Homo-oligomer: A and B are copies of this chain.
Amino acid sequence: MTSRRPGDGTIGKAFEVLDQVAAFGRPVRFSELERISDFPKATLYRLVQTLTSQRFLHHDPDRGVYSLGVRLVRLAHAAWRQSSLAPLARPYLDRLAQDVGETVHLAQLDHGMVLYVDKRSGAEAIEMFSQAGKIGPAYCTGIGKAMLAFLDEKALEDVLPQQSFQRYTDNTLVDRATLCAELGAIRSRGYAFDREEHEPGIVCLAFPILSPGGRIEGGLSVTSTTDRKSLGDLESLAPRLRQTASDIAEEIAHWRFPDEINTQTRAG
């Protein structure tokens, strides 16, 4: 029913349960889970037991509810640190945000969507939705389109069907053909705009971060509001952004992991 890939067996099922718990966005009863799940009660029960024993779920015995476990936070911290993109890009983001005085985002593609991995808020705090770990659509954000545009044909073929093409504003690109044309333009221009396609009044300029081999490593964007900056104003920041994107790309390419240290067998 759901998009569980064949061949991922029990492990895939366990992760599906995790996603279902996450989708609730709040602690959840066993019976609630059972209702939305395809699994028979006993099966679901055992999956939940196992996940709880592994601390990927947390069971509050007072309220009888399950929520995502803290071990995820712990692992995610490790994931963030060992990803080559976010930690290396950090100082560059700081400097860029300071220079341009607007909100700056760093993102990666995850399963056809934009996953924000870091953020700097500009002078004024526009409280938009975005924080590390947050996800958003790819087809209607500047940073999303910048990354899509540089996927190879095969990867794009995977990712296009995952776009929901929901209309958020009058400017949202709502079909595949229009999006593909736009991606072509972005590819030849080298960068992408968000022309209020996701939220009215919000515009952005975005660059891809490309490895020397041309593989897409992530995206970088500057976001502003129409009453502060026109698209033309934003475009004048293009050289500064391009430079930062390529600085980050080079940093990643040159990065050699501190060779051969078997570190800890769990410190404490």
Contacts and interface: CB of A to CB of B under 8 A. Distances in A.
A226 interface: no
A74 B131 contact: no
Interface residues of A, number: 85
A64 interface: no
A164 B267 contact: yes
Given A8-B50, A132-B128, A72 B82 contact: no
B77 A134 contact: yes
Interface stretch (A54-62, A188-196, A229-237, A242-250): A54-62
Contact of A121 (B72, B125, B135): B125
Total copies of this chain within the assembly: 2
Contacts of A131: 77, 128
A9 B10 CA distance: 9
A75 B14 contact: no
A111 B268 CA distance: 10
A70 to B, nearest CB: 5
A74 B264 contact: no
Interface stretch (A16-24, A37-45, A199-207): A16-24
Interface in A134-172: 134-137, 162-164, 166
A31 B27 CA distance: 40
Contacts of A127: 118, 132
Contacts of A8: 50, 53-54
Instruction: Give the interface centre of A47, A58, A137 by most chain B CB atoms within 10 Å.
Output: A58
A80 B133 contact: yes
Instruction: Give the interface centre of A19, A50, A87, A125 by most chain B CB atoms within 10 Å.
Output: A50
Contacts of A15: 54, 56
A18 B14 CA distance: 14
A25 B67 contact: no
Contacts of A76: 68, 72-73, 75-77, 79, 129, 133
Given A25-B78, A74-B115, A164-B268, A213 B133 contact: no
A111 B163 CA distance: 39
A186 interface: no
Contacts of A262: 24, 36
Instruction: Give the interface centre of A7, A68, A257, A268 by most chain B CB atoms within 10 Å.
Output: A268
Nearest to A62: B213
Q: What 7 pairs between A and B have smallest CB-CB spacing?
A: A77-B133, A76-B76, A164-B268, A68-B79, A22-B78, A26-B257, A80-B129
Given A55-B111, A68-B83, A70-B79, 7 more contacts: A5-B54, A12-B53, A22-B82, A67-B79, A71-B110, A77-B132, A127-B132
